[in-house]
Amino acid sequence: MTIENHHRRSFVHPLLEQAGAEFAEIAGGNVALNVGNDESAAADIIRRMGLVDLSPLPRIGYKGVGAPQWLRQQSLQLPLQANSAVTQTDGTLVAALSAQEHLLLSPYTVAAISATSVGDASGICQRVENAWSLDSAAQCYQLPRADSHCWFAVCGSSVGEMLPKLCGVDLRPHVFADNAVAQTSLARVNAIIIRQTIANTAVFHLLTDSASAEYLWRCLLDAMAEFDGAVVGLNALQSLHND
């Protein structure tokens, strides 16, 4: 057997299966493209209150005194301040969790992914991961963020009303602008929250303990219920770019 036989599997894979998800292999992971809704319904949901699982997509972290320098050597543009993020030209998001710790999130739309073929070395996460070794990167240590953290995105016009039911940090846009990062507690689980806007739709990336993924998924669905929120697939996220 070889590694190709196994695709990275989301921590909420069984829940997505139950919800009737259609999966596709992207960048070595089984990603849900659609979840039980037709395309136009999903496009409507994500503009209102949608939950997307991005867990199977690549992400990686680097930490240590030498990490910023080494990442810059890999031609990455780093945020100027801790707890902020900056998007690279290919769509990869680099978030600074402290002056010496960075989190790389691969592009998360189908278009961006296929444009850069994340699975091969042309994707930034993969390229950087391949370049790194303990010996070659002085005082720069790699963190297995794709395994330690699940990656969800909550999107839409009601998301600003939904998140305060789970989180005690003020996430309103004038306080927590695009590319702001908050490391806090979400429904009692430690979380990294990153805000972005895609074509006027608010998108919050939530990265939390992968072992608590099913718990948090259910918490989010419960909190979203009053806004008629639902789970959608990666295609719905893609549809935001059509605006």
Partner 1 sequence: MTQDNRLPAPHGLLIDRQQTLTFKFDGREYSGYAGDSIASALAANNVWLLSRSFKYHRPRGILTMAGQDANTMVQLPDEPNVLADREAIREGLIVEGQNYNGSLTNDRDMFVQNFARFLPVGFYYKAFYKPKRIWENFWEPYFRKKAGLGKVNEAAQEQYFDKKYEFCDIAIIGGGAAGLSAAAAAADAGADVILIDENPQLGGALNYARFDVEDSAAAALRQQLLDKIAGRVRVFSNAVCNGWFADHYLPVICGNRLHKIRAKQCIVAGGNIEQPLVFHNNDLPGIMQGSAAQRLIKLYGVRPGSRAVVATANSAGYGVCLDLLDAGVSVAAVADLRTDPPPHPLAQAVAERNVKIWHGHTVYEATPTAGYRHVSTAAIRPLSGRGTCSSGGDTLECDLICMSPGYMPAWQLPCQAGAQLGYDDTRAAFTLENLPQGFALAGAINNSTTLAAACRDGRRAVATLGYSLTTENNDNTSDEEAEEMINTDWHIFPHPRGKEFVDFDEDLQVADILNAAADGYDHVQLAKRYSTAGMGPSQGRHAALSVARLLASASGKSIAETGITTARPPFAAEKLGVMGGRHFNPERHTAMHQQHIALGAQFMPAGLWLRPAYYGEPHARQQCIEKEVLAVRNNVGMVDVSTLGGLEICGSDAGEFLNRIYTGSFTKQAVGRTRYVAMCNEQGVVIDDGVACRLHEQHYYVTATTSGVDNVYRNMLRWNAQWCLDVDISNVSAAWAAVNVAGVKAREVLQRAGCDIDLSTEAFSYMAVKTATVAGIPARLIRVGFVGEMGYEIHVPATFGNALWQALTAAGAEFNIQPFGVEAQRLLRLEKAHIIIGQDTDSMSFPHEVNLEWALAKNKPFFVGARAFEIVSKRPLQRRLVGFSLPADSPKPKEAHLVISGEAMSGRVTSCEYSPTLNKIIGMAYVTPQQTEIGTTINIRTDGGVMAAAQVEALPFYDAEGARQKL
Partner 2 sequence: MKLMPCPLNGLRNISEFICAGELKDMPLTTVDKTVDDKAWADYLFNQDNAAGIVREWWCHSATSYWFIAERHTVTDEIIRTYPADEIYKQRVDFTPPPVPE
The site for partner 1 (CB under 8 A) is made up of: 1-6, 8-11, 13-14, 29, 55-56, 63-65, 134, 139, 141, 143-149, 164-165, 167-168, 170, 172, 175, 187-189, 209-216, 219, 222-223
Q: How far is the CB of 52 from partner 1 (least distance, A)?
A: 17
Nearer to partner 2, 101 or 214 (CB): 101
| Contact pattern for partner 2 over residues 39 through 78, marking x by CB under 8 A | ----------------------------------------
Nearer to partner 2, 23 or 204 (CB): 204
Q: Identify what 47 binds: partner 1, partner 2, none; CB under 5 to 8 Å per kind.
A: none
Q: Identify what 183 binds: partner 1, partner 2, none; CB under 5 to 8 Å per kind.
A: partner 2
Size of the site for partner 2 (CB under 8 A): 12
What are the b/e assignments for 206-231, b being 16+ CB within 10 Å?
bbbbbebbeebbebbeebbeeeebbb
Distance CA 215, CA 113 (A): 28
Nearer to partner 1, 80 or 175 (CB): 175
Q: How far is the CB of 40 from partner 1 (least distance, A)?
A: 31
Helix (H) / strand (E) element for 14: namely: helix 13-18
- Select from 191, 192, 219, 205 the least CA-distant residue to 109: 205
Q: How far is the CB of 84 from partner 1 (least distance, A)?
A: 20
Q: In degrees rounded to 5, what are phi and psi of residue 235?
A: -65, -35
Q: Which whole-number Å values give the CA distances from 146 to 30, 52, 125, 150, 195, in the listed order?
A: 13, 16, 11, 7, 19
Beta-bridge partner residues of 26: 29
- Under rule CB under 8 A, residue 98 binds partner 2: yes
- Under rule CB under 8 A, residue 148 binds partner 2: no
Decide if 11 contacts 213 (C-beta within 8 A).
Answer: yes
The two tokens of residue 214 are 């099913």
For partner 2, the binding residue among 41, 120, 185, 226 (CB under 8 A) is: 185
Q: Identify what 22 binds: partner 1, partner 2, none; CB under 5 to 8 Å per kind.
A: none
The two tokens of residue 121 are 């070395």
Q: Which whole-number Å values give the CA distances from 236 to 41, 44, 62, in the listed order?
A: 9, 9, 30
- Under rule CB under 8 A, residue 174 binds partner 2: no
- Residues of this chain that interact with partner 2 (CB under 8 A) are 82-83, 97-98, 168-169, 182-185, 190-191
